[in-house]
A and B are shown apart, each in its own frame.
Chain A
Amino acid sequence: MFKLVKRLTSVVAMFAVLFTFTTETMAAKKSKTLKNTQKKGFVRCGVSQGLPGFSNADAAGNWTGVDVDVCRAVAAAVLGDSSKVKFTPLSAKERFTALTSNEIDILSRNTTWTLSRDADIGLTFVGVNFYDGQGFMVRKNSGISSVNDFKAGVSACTNLGTTTELNMRDFFNSKGIKYEPVTFEKADEVVAAYDAGRCDTYTTDKSGLAAQRIKLSNPDDHMVLPETISKEPLGPVVRQGDSVWEDIVRWSLNTMIEAEEYGVTSANADMMKTSDNPAVKRLVGAEGELGAALGLDNEWSLRIIKQVGNYGESYKRNIADTGILPDRGPNELWTKGGILYVPPAR
């Protein structure tokens, strides 16, 4: 009798183990980060401490910018509401540690994609939402009109812990110019020091220069030199090791760019469900089962377009209309002479 009970329990236990094992793998497929996000009810997003056009908070604490919109798109896709994002402002120095130590789930903070960052420190870059390059800002009355006019002894203000520091060295070394790097932790201090005359030039990504110029006491007295000394593909980053979450963030960004390509906007997205173009129908979830592959419902992409808009709308709202960089330059669609080109959603 006892033996029978024992045997029975062991069999039940075995089944229980098997069953939990199978449900576990199903859940694991759904991704730990995704599960946590859905449980918490908001997306944890790391942004800058204030870079107009990319991630900037107004007096009421509302965040706007193209980097912010990536996180909003993910919130719309995963939680159904683009406002369900918790933003954490981070300095350049803190950003990667915040991501790897699980304080945030997406880092969308004008971060340059490089090999060592992608491969060496537990991060994965999911795409590019802004193609940038490093430039120099100088005073208009200095007579400097090109990077070739810099002379030995020039002092350059910049941010600590960025690719800028390395590019600057490469650049000045290649020209054989001895320079003085003055590096601050926060961008506001860089601006203040350059404004006061501590430095002859302020160097960072050109988009950053355009955005920070507004903060100077006399923006019109300064100009950005035409040369670009480096490639700075900026994009969102996630932790290494959660490929489902990585896919969700990547395809949220891709959806915004592809929506612009097919002319789907926040205003006409609902009507596009009945479009003749199957690619457009797939994009708004009227055809195919693309959401399921990501562990989401089929309306995920439609919500992104309706709530956040396509890439062009986001760019216009945050960067062009604010006067930061009216010209889209390389950040134009490949069909219009730019280099924005994303894999098809199918």
Chain B
Amino acid sequence: MNFKKILPQLLTLVVVILVFGFFSYNAQVNMENRGITFGYGFLSQESSFDVQFSLIEYDGSHSYFRAYLVGLLNTILVSVIGIVFATIIGVVVGIARLSNNYLIERTAAIYVEFFRNIPLLLQIFFWYFAALRALPLPEKAEPFFGVFFLTIKGFFVPAFIWNNLDIFIYSVIAAIIAIIFVRFYAKKKQENQGIQTPVLSISIGLLIILPLLSFLLGGVSASIEIPVIEQLSQTSFTYKGGLKLPPELISLALALSLYTATFIAECVRAGVQGVSKGQKEAAASIGLTPNQVLKLVVMPQALRIIIPPTTNQYLNLTKNSSLAAAIAYPDLVLVFAGTALMQTGRAIEIVSITMLTYLTLSITISIFMNWYNKKIAIKEK
């Protein structure tokens, strides 16, 4: 009985192993015939190529592994920026689509239909080359507030030069831990005594006061470095100092978030519409204010519908960020599966590492979102 149940699965497993075995054997034989060696030793060799934008210190004298980290961090950076903005735009547009105001509803609908029906690669090219054509040369840039310069060579912003940065970070971490405690006790207090505590204002207060104390007592100080224009030749200029965001990052993040936001907007709309009208009416009839109805009754139920499809969109955005190679944003695909692959010729090794990395990224996002989904799911009592 039991054996009959397992047999199909066992057969499938054997077939899968055989197929994989066949391909890896084939690859091995072919590589041997052509004198190609296999191994991951190249990761510790000197990479000898540079990358235009990196979150960690890197140049060609570092190893290929370090180049991999540079690419990975850049992929994570653009994905996180994309996810944050896509969520904000998506929620706003999704709610706008439910508005009673005809103009707002139509504008949101047109935005959604327009951006989700054009291929993403085209949108990336559009934003990149449109940005390059539209942005001013460094010497002609009009500063925002005197210190932000948006130019064709990038967005130059003032940077903080820190003293005792670690103490400042500890103070922020301490504030976050304190907030978690406050929330915990506020919940207990409400359950035991029925008294509500203004958790939000206490949290904001903590987030301001503790880091402020680190400045006053902890010896933390920060000065601001403003970008200054510099002449490279008779006609070309750039900015020195401050922080530089390359135009590739800006246009890629813009394209990814505008595109993914359309799908998130539809998820949000579906979620809110999925809560039955009776729920709202019942909530209103027991005297909750419209704000409370939204916060306590509609949103908790809508979120359960919104989260699973939105998780898919987050995964899509992360994977779509690999289109970066088309516009010179040094992400994992461009740096590692591009330049590093070319310079070493280790196609199988590098592609397998890259695939495994994207898999890990996606599964991590998936696990986090599933955890969140479980947390807000209905708890049967």
Chain A residues proximal to chain B, CB less than 8 Å: 92-93, 96-97, 100, 116-117, 120-122, 138-139, 141-144, 149-151, 153-155, 157, 160-162, 165-166, 168-169, 173, 179-186, 189, 192-193, 196-198, 200, 239-241
Contacts and interface: CB of A to CB of B under 8 A. Distances in A.
B52 A154 contact: no
6 contacts: A93-B342, A142-B236, A154-B232, A155-B153, A196-B129, A198-B152
Interface string B50-74: 1110000000100000000000000
Nearest to A153: B238
Given A181-B51, A182-B328, A196-B129, A240 B35 contact: yes
Given A180-B52, A193-B328, A120 B345 contact: yes
B345 A240 contact: no
Nearest to B42: A120
B148 interface: no
Interface in B139-197: 152-153
Interface residues on B, range: 35 or more
A49 to B, nearest CB: 13
A180 to B, nearest CB: 5
Interface string B220-257: 00000000001011111010100000011000000000
Interface of B: 31, 33-37, 48-52, 60, 129, 132-133, 137, 152-153, 230, 232-236, 238, 240, 247-248, 325-328, 330, 334, 338-339, 341-343, 345, 347
Given A160-B342, A161-B342, A182-B328, 6 more contacts: A97-B347, A141-B234, A165-B49, A198-B132, A198-B247, A200-B232
B49 A122 contact: no
Given A139-B235, A143-B233, A183-B328, A169 B50 contact: yes
A239 B35 CA distance: 10
Nearest to A179: B50
Contacts of A182: 52, 248, 328
Contacts of A139: 235-236
Contacts of A196: 129, 132-133, 152
Contacts of A239: 34
B33 A241 contact: yes
Nearest to A183: B328
Contacts of B328: 157, 182-184, 189, 193
Nearest to B151: A197
A143 B235 contact: yes
B34 A241 contact: yes
Contacts of B233: 138, 142-144, 149, 151, 200
A240 B233 CA distance: 47
Given A165-B49, A198-B152, A122 B232 contact: no
A193 B232 contact: no
B129 A166 contact: no
A93 B338 contact: yes
B135 to A, nearest CB: 9
Contacts of A184: 326-328
B36 A93 contact: no
A189 B327 contact: yes
Contacts of B129: 192, 196
Contacts of B49: 165-166, 169, 181
A117 B60 CA distance: 19
Contacts of A116: 345
Contact of A162 (B48, B152, B240, B342): B342
A185 B125 CA distance: 13
Contacts of B137: 197
A47 to B, nearest CB: 18
A165 to B, nearest CB: 5
Nearest to A201: B236
Contact of B334 (A122, A138, A160): A160
Nearest to B343: A166
A281 to B, nearest CB: 38
B34 A153 contact: no
Contact of B235 (A117, A121, A142, A193): A142
Contacts of B238: 153, 155
